[in-house]
Chain A
Amino acid sequence: MIQEKFMRKNEISGEELSQMFFAGAASLSNHASKVDALNVFPVPDGDTGTNMNLTMTSGISELKKQSSHHAGKVSQSLAKGLLMGARGNSGVILSQLFRGFSKAVAEDESVTAEKLALALSQGVTMAYEAVMKPVEGTILTVAKDAAVGAMQAVRQTNDIVQVMKIVLDTAEQSLARTPELLPILKEVGVVDSGGQGLVYIYTGFYQALLGNMPETSPHETMTPEQFQEDRAQIHLKTEDIEFGYCTEFIVKRNMAIPFHQGSFREKMSQFGDSLLVVADDEWVKIHIHSEHPGEVLNFGQKFGELIGIKIENMRDQHAHIVSEDLDKAGNSAEELSESPILPFGIVAVGMGDGISDILKSLGANQIVEGGQSMNPSTEDLIQAAQQLQAEHIIFLPNNKNIILAAEQAGKILGTPATVIPTRSIPQGMAALLAFQLEESAETNKQLMIDAISAVKSGQVTYAVRDTKLEQLDIREGDFLGLFEGEIIVSGQAAMEVGKELLSRMIDENTEIITILYGEGITETESEEFLNELQEAYPEIEIELHRGGQPLYAFIFSVE
């Protein structure tokens, strides 16, 4: 039981604030998969939790670099990291909430309850500004209600713990109301996923104020620093690697066997280098570079069950990294000498080697890997744009969840940039075709936006869980036909669903259908599908291409 006197705080230091941020991130990280599961559609885009978590992780790693205990500086570091790592709509909104927050406390050494409420409110203002058409019943509403709660609370009390409690309570109540505001949530029977993510963050904040730092689960993904550490080995020669296998796993401890972290670590260190041992009561996470991963695992297994085993051959990886880097160096040197500055550089997002080739053939200069459930971050987009020597950058997000990140990238980039709000690969293709090199950025924006409306997009994917949606009774594993993002057909075979979906997309003005088949479909299957369609629609030109995209059996463009 926590005593009243410990719970009262009129002010928090920058150090305490940063503890709150760490705790918020940890709380979110521990529940990320739960947030993913709240996604409204049964299509495999359950990535809100993943996106928010990756965004937050980026914020935290920036925060770790900050040595100052000044509340303003601490917030600024978090905000900067969030901004650079922002992924998906919820991630971008999250970054804006804390950007506003950090601006409000920029000059403050420490934060009072009143300042906290003000900072939360400014965050909300900034987030609403960032979103073109704010939708209520989402993370925005939850953040707004919580901020309003905070503003009301500071009229009654100057206790920051009390205020944070009210923030958390109002956020939870607001979250519970989201199905009333967004009909689709009600239909599926869930609360908003982004809003839920925010509630987990606030939970962490409140717990930190109470002095309870949540533990991060052992499933924690590799931090960016660790990743960079690996990349740093580019400077080595492949044959110089002494311990060839990067080995990571978790021991779920058998409680009957005594475990002492110190001696465990010591014994482990004999197997190789770069050793990391993180343990709590039940779990031990191990990361080691070793020449004999088998022996490492055998040793670990003495203490319990092994899970999450990941072994990578670093010599092989390294050879790839080095050759990639050489390729890059070769390319950029060539680009620099051949073409000084392009009037336009087009950065398009797409998943699948076939799609990437098609986008390039239509004039995209850089392809950023990503799409449904793999949203690239603002930073990914910025990096791609910076690789182009162009006077003006055009972003084609090709997915509704990437539009905001692209807009964010456009603002930070420093080079004039236009975001064409393409929501699908077909829209991206149409926009690329409409692009005219000789025209101004303004004219091109108009041409490309006009072109989007002339193309219809369809997708065939599969259901990740059972759902009832209007007249459709969907079972996990069923194929789903989406028309402009809405599920309109379902069934057990991809081809059947594809045919039914197309029959709904086609009208008397249809002249050309483009089919991009995904990685789950064979060439033979796709050709069979094409033949059947050609028989059914002899008047329409039908083009078949391998897209190589994951998750989507087919992507259709109907014009």
Chain B
Amino acid sequence: MIKIVTDSTADIPKEVAEQWDIHILPLKVLIDGETYLDGVTITPSAFFEKLENASSFPSTSQPSPVEFAEKYQEILDKHGEDTQIISIHLSSALSGTYQSARLGANLLETKANIHVLDSKKAAYFLGMMVVEAAKAAKNGMSVDQCMELIHKMMKEQEEFFVLDTLTYLQKGGRIGKAQAIVGTLLNVKPILSLNEAGEVFPFEKVRGKKKAITRILDECKQYAGEEKVIASVLYGLNRPEAEELRDRLIEEFMIQEITLTEIGPVIGAHVGPQALGVLMYKP
């Protein structure tokens, strides 16, 4: 039997996690002096509302190795010692979560059965590969086949964030000072993506949101061609905008399946409440 573990930054909706039996460990979010468990004691929208009025930039902390060890142990106790665990996490370039998971796995005697992976991704860019791996596992695929699928998605999927403002990225200190200054006067929308090392990089800077979206859809079209794709639109407090973009994707692409997913606090703190994300993969 294969069980899938991930962390709360994968932004997997509760019902989806339940449906495919995905185990999620929450990161902790500290905002305005209060600590919350991501997705457990605070919802993304509640977080964004706090973020807009927060006096200082929120901080996050990864689950401890012990928390991981306990989670793995709980799964092994419940489903038997020979259960295979695939534990996929937020890019190690962005957080210590992956490191913590590996240490947690090392605390157990049966570590041979626990496969900890650095997804090099964040948000639902990570979430979708977790869900696809969970589906594959439920459909009877082997651990190797599931791992192969994850690696393929890691390499191939197209993923972009269009930011409404650079303010949050700037506050979070995730971009160089020089880059941060760019476009503070004009309506510049930075398009971000993730590189092979799992780092956020500025893909392009575009004037206006419409142009920015056209730009990423052009990029997606080059990738997808006429083939069937699974896709997701990521959003913060801007669901209507995300719905509009979803409808546009359905119109312009051969969509096999498309989801709308809320951006959680850990990534949301950096991209801001009005960011939009697009994720596409040819299964």
Chain A: residues with CB nearer than 8 A to chain B?
Answer: 357-358, 361-363, 429, 432-434, 436-438, 511-512, 514, 541, 543, 545, 559
Contacts and interface: CB of A to CB of B under 8 A. Distances in A.
B185 A358 contact: yes
21 contacts: A361-B186, A362-B182, A362-B185, A363-B181, A433-B183, A434-B204, A437-B178, A437-B179, A438-B201, A512-B207, A512-B208, A512-B210, A514-B207, A541-B208, A543-B186, A543-B187, A543-B208, A545-B185, A545-B186, A559-B208, A559-B211
A423 B184 CA distance: 24
Given A361-B181, A362-B183, A514-B207, 13 more contacts: A361-B185, A362-B186, A363-B181, A363-B182, A433-B182, A437-B176, A511-B208, A511-B210, A541-B209, A543-B186, A543-B208, A545-B185, A559-B207
A436 B176 CA distance: 12
A265 B202 CA distance: 68
A436 B202 contact: yes
A361 B183 contact: yes
Given A437-B179, A511-B214, A357 B207 contact: no
A361 B182 contact: yes
B188 interface: yes
A545 B204 CA distance: 23
Nearest to A433: B205
Nearest to B178: A437
A361 B186 CA distance: 8
A363 B178 contact: yes
A437 B181 CA distance: 12
Interface string B245-280: 000000000000000000000000000000000000
Contacts of A559: 207-208, 211
A358 B182 CA distance: 10
A511 B211 contact: yes
B199 to A, nearest CB: 11
State the 7 A-B residue pairs at the shortest beta-carbon distance, nearest first.
Answer: A361-B185, A512-B208, A541-B208, A511-B211, A511-B210, A433-B205, A363-B182
Contacts of A438: 201
Contacts of A429: 186
Contacts of B103: none
A363 B166 CA distance: 14
B206 interface: yes
Contacts of B184: 361
Interface in B156-181: 176, 178-179, 181
Nearest to B205: A433
Contacts of B208: 511-512, 541, 543, 559
A494 B183 CA distance: 28
A173 to B, nearest CB: 51
Contacts of B178: 363, 437
A337 to B, nearest CB: 15
B210 A541 contact: yes
Given A512-B207, A541-B208, A433 B181 contact: no
B186 A358 contact: yes
Contacts of B201: 438
Contacts of A433: 182-183, 188, 205-207
A90 B207 CA distance: 35
Interface string B200-230: 0110111111110010000000000000000
Contacts of B209: 541
Nearest to B201: A438
B255 to A, nearest CB: 24
A416 B10 CA distance: 46
Nearest to A343: B178
- Which among A358, A438, A511 has the highest number of chain B CB atoms within 10 Å? A511
A357 B217 CA distance: 32
Contacts of A512: 187, 207-208, 210-211
Nearest to B177: A339
A361 B205 CA distance: 13
A438 B179 CA distance: 10
A531 B172 CA distance: 36
